Structure 1
Amino acid sequence: MTEPTPHLTTHVLDAAAGTPAVAVEIVLTGPGGEIARGLTDADGRLGLGPERLDDGDHTLTFATGAYFEGRGVEAFYPRVDVTFTVRAAPDGSVRHHHVPILLSPFAYSTYRGS
């Protein structure tokens, strides 16, 4: 039996090193508080949460300072918070959410992935 795909996935790439960011702690929170937490895998990926997130604003908090500190790299941002809105489609269907970040010690970017 396979586990269901979580409603939300993320991918962290260390753009300065050109590699996946391994073992970055990430916390997912929603309107009611913490939903899930975990560490990125060897490919910098992590699935979080249940099969369906409630509609509303959610935040992914990436522990970027601890990640860079563990690599002996000075960094400017101790954490990155990415807040996004989950809404069911007009037909009531639920879309998968993928929220990746590209990370360096002094910058980051994010986008809505697929």
Structure 2
Amino acid sequence: MAEGFLTTHVLDTARGIPAQGVKITLYRISGMSHRKIAEAVTNADGRTDAPILPKGTFRPGTYELVFHAGDYLRASGQAGDGVLFLDEVPIRFGMAEDTHYHVPLLLSPFGYSTYRGS
């Protein structure tokens, strides 16, 4: 059985708090194909309640997390109704080892960063 899994969280760096209520979609990428395999919403800690890709479902390959940041930025009063600088933030990455991967998003209305966490 696969022991690898994927977790994520979102921090609102402009306000210095976890970003609650951010919808996140996970896709598996194969060539030109994007297959949606999971969807979650961040809780009060800016984390998903469970791994977005739990043990037993892990497969090595290329994945993409899409953070629906625009909805969060509008709901938190950091963006108006017009065109947003950041709306959906896609992060494409590879997972080759059967282990824990953690891919967070550090978000503000005009920038973001990510890294492979632990």
TM-score > 0.5, shorter chain as reference: yes
Change (3 A) 1:39 1:6: farther
Query: Using the alignment, how far apart are the partners of 2:104 and 2:53 within structure 1?
Result: 15
2:86 is aligned to: 77
In the alignment, structure 1 residue 98 sits paired with structure 2 residue 96 = no
- Percent identity reads 45
In the alignment, structure 1 residue 64 sits paired with structure 2 residue 81 = no
Deviations 1:24-82 (CA, angstroms, capped at 9, x unpaired): 00001003601100100110012202314211110000000000111122251011101
- Work out which structure has the larger RCO, using CA pairs closer than 8 Å and 6 or more positions apart in sequence: 2
1:91 is aligned to: none
Change (3 A) 1:48 1:67: same
TM-fit CA distance, 1:103: 0.5
Letter in 2 for 1:40: T
Letter in 1 for 2:28: G
Q: How many residues align?
A: 105
Q: Is the 8 A contact 1:53 1:86 kept in 2?
A: no
Which aligned pairs between 1:1-40 and structure 2 lie closer than 5 A? 7-31=5-29, 33-40=35-42
Match of 2:113 among 100, 109, 113: 109
- TM-score under structure 2 length normalisation: 0.83
Letter in 2 for 1:10: T
SS at match of 1:48: coil
